Amino acid sequence: MAANVTNEDALPLAEFVRLPTTVDFQVINSDRFKAFAKDKPYLRFGTELANNYIVGYTNEKNIQPLFMELGSDFLSFYPKILSPLSSKSNDDSGVTQVQNQPFLNLTGRGVILGFVDTGIDYTKKAFQFEDGTSKILSIWDQTIDGPRTEDLYFGASYDRAQINQALKSDNPYTLVPTTDEDGHGTFLASVAASNEQGPYLGAAPQAWIISVKLRRARQYYINRYLLSPDNPNLYESTDYMLGLRYILQRGEDLNLPVVICIGMGSNSSAHDGDTLFEDYVSFFSQRAGFAFVTAAGNESNKRHHTQGVIPQTGSVEDISIKVGRQGESFSVIIFGPAFDKLSVGVVSPTGEAVPRIPFRSGLEYSEQLLLEDTTVYIKYYKDINNNLVVGFRNATEGIWDIHLFGDAVISGQYWAWLPITGQVSEFVEFLRPVPEYTIVYPATALRTNTCGAYDSSDNSLYVSSSWGPTRLPRMAPDFVAPGVNVRGIYPTGYGAMSGTSVAAAVAAGAAALLMQWGVVEGKMPSMDGELVRSLFISGCTRDPNQSYPNIKWGYGKLNLYGTFLSIKESIVNYNVTMPAGGGLLGES
């Protein structure tokens, strides 16, 4: 690749990352990559994360040639685009019963709840202790430029002392000018950790909070993924991972356990847990004092997934997409085993065809149709999967057919996804949708706590709660929590929210109580994310008329009180320190 070195490459990194032409990427900082990057001054590197992951920056004109030179081993190079997963809960999740146990006295004290989302309204009373000081240890706002700690290259960060000073001011935003225009992040934090007494008390009211406000995705990637330029809720996985690192690093510095609620997701992965983001989550989930709760997604009834089997070499399967409104733009991503050889062609609603394009890893092809104002994009990549991406810009209304050719078939299995709700028009859907395999990325990670949603008013599954399994394969979701009309606090006031992100916030608050009991109070000091998952599963409420685990409910409905009953019954095996003068739950 010719070196595209410009004057901007000499800028300090903090200035370079703010340029509108700068894009980010993510790689494993292996010896091979270090050797590759050594003589390329147009590649700039920021924060290195655990597991040798590193975030890099370059001019957008370099990004595609750079990927082509690196090859398919670096397919996770491109960030993925995430969006929020939302559209009486504490009682129904067994949290209130635990809060009311005097011998447990669990409130989340000494545990950090982390949120990487749309921000937080730090001025709300819900995020203050009784003395008026803030429950928020720190905020990193990626969207504004301001004072920040040395480990950050963009945005502005504020610690608890600065937040407390702002709360005493008549105009707090002059001192800490971070806001949450969307409200999703504020709401999730209130469900998990509100200290406002009464019906809006959170699951872990005394827990600390660290909040990261994500910046919007770069326009280059919005265009590349054919997403709406008017959608404000598009965020890059690289920025999300940096947000996770910000929270985890501060948890380590303070020697406090951390529970992170992930309330965003995407369909732009193979749904097999094999991404840098998901590896990062799984890596930390094995460390004592760290746990992740991830929303399963709201995709089961959205007609955004299909799958099938090509029976033999030479056969052709059709993937049909209904476009109900003229001019929509979107992409379809198709995955199949790498040992098969697949290729695609496209037929428009008027019969105009893009003939079969033979598979070649790294190929990126586009064609403007002659009789329609539509451009079709076909991209091929190979890693442990065949990755076939078919994009449509300004699609004609009607039925589009993707012909999937089995050029060399051993398995023949394939899976296809449209973008998640909020990233694709409601007028775009598969004609033959399949509700299975709709757990979104990064909830497909191996070691996260994957949380679906149910309606606690009638004990029915939330109509959109994503179904498992994943392609690992592993059973998912792990469990469900209340996620329909859950009460919480927006920047504008009280309200309600439905979706798996709010269910994940309920479960994250419950995990904070469990972390307080296990790590802070020393009952199970080695508690990590996997043990939290096992303990949650052991206490789930299960319908005797259903078999478990299953792809809709996982192992059942979250019941934290049931978890402690299960621990009590297994007290010898868990080597738990008993409270003086009584049993685990206060009995003699």
Over residues 229-254, the pLDDT tens digits come to 888 999 999 999 999 999 999 999 99
Q: Looking at residue 404, which CATH number applies to its domain? A: 2.60.120.1290
Angle at which helix 500-515 crosses helix 560-569, to 10 degrees, equals 40
Overall domain count for the chain: 3
Residue 359: half-sphere exposure toward Cβ, Cα within 13 Å: 23
Stretch 436-454: mean pLDDT: 97
Query: What's the token pair of residue 192?
Result: 């998990």
The string of DSSP letters for 201-244 reads --SSTT-EEEEEEPPPPPHHHHHHTT--TT-S--EEHHHHHHHH
Is the separation of the CB atoms in 297 and 438 below 8 Å?
yes
Q: Which tens digit of pLDDT belongs to each residue from 27-64?
A: 888 888 888 888 889 999 988 888 788 999 999 999 88
Are 103 and 208 within one domain? yes
Is the separation of the CB atoms in 383 and 338 below 8 Å?
yes
Q: Distance between alpha carbon 481 and the CA centroid of its chain, in Å?
A: 17
Residue that terminates a domain, selected from 26, 51, 78: 78
Helices and strands of the chain, counted as H and E runs: 14, 28
| Residue 42: inside a domain | yes
Closest listed residue to residue 541, CA positions, set 568, 517, 566: 566
Q: Sign (positive/negative) of CA torsion 351, 354, 357, 363? A: negative
Please provide the size of the chain in residues.
Answer: 588
What span, in angstroms and rounded, lies between the C-alpha atoms of 53 and 56?
10
Are 289 and 318 within one domain? no
Q: Which tens digit of pLDDT belongs to each residue from 178-227?
A: 999 999 999 999 999 999 988 999 999 999 999 999 999 999 999 999 99
pTM: 0.93
Indicate the range of 64-68, 263-267, 359-363, 517-521 predicted with least confidence. 64-68
Are 118 and 13 within one domain? no
Q: Which tens digit of pLDDT belongs to each residue from 273-317?
A: 999 999 999 999 999 999 999 999 999 999 999 999 999 999 999
Residue that terminates a domain, selected from 29, 49, 78: 78
Asked if the model's pLDDT at residue 259 lies above 80, the reply is: yes
Q: Which tens digit of pLDDT belongs to each residue from 342-395?
A: 999 999 999 999 999 999 998 999 999 998 999 999 999 998 899 999 999 999
Residue 555: half-sphere exposure toward Cβ, Cα within 13 Å: 17
Q: Looking at residue 245, which CATH number applies to its domain? A: 3.40.50.200
Closest listed residue to residue 468, CA positions, set 442, 450, 448: 450
Are 416 and 446 within one domain? no
- Residue range of the domain that includes 145: 89-299+442-457+465-473+483-516
| Residue 581: inside a domain | no
Are 117 and 200 within one domain? yes
| Residue 529: inside a domain | no
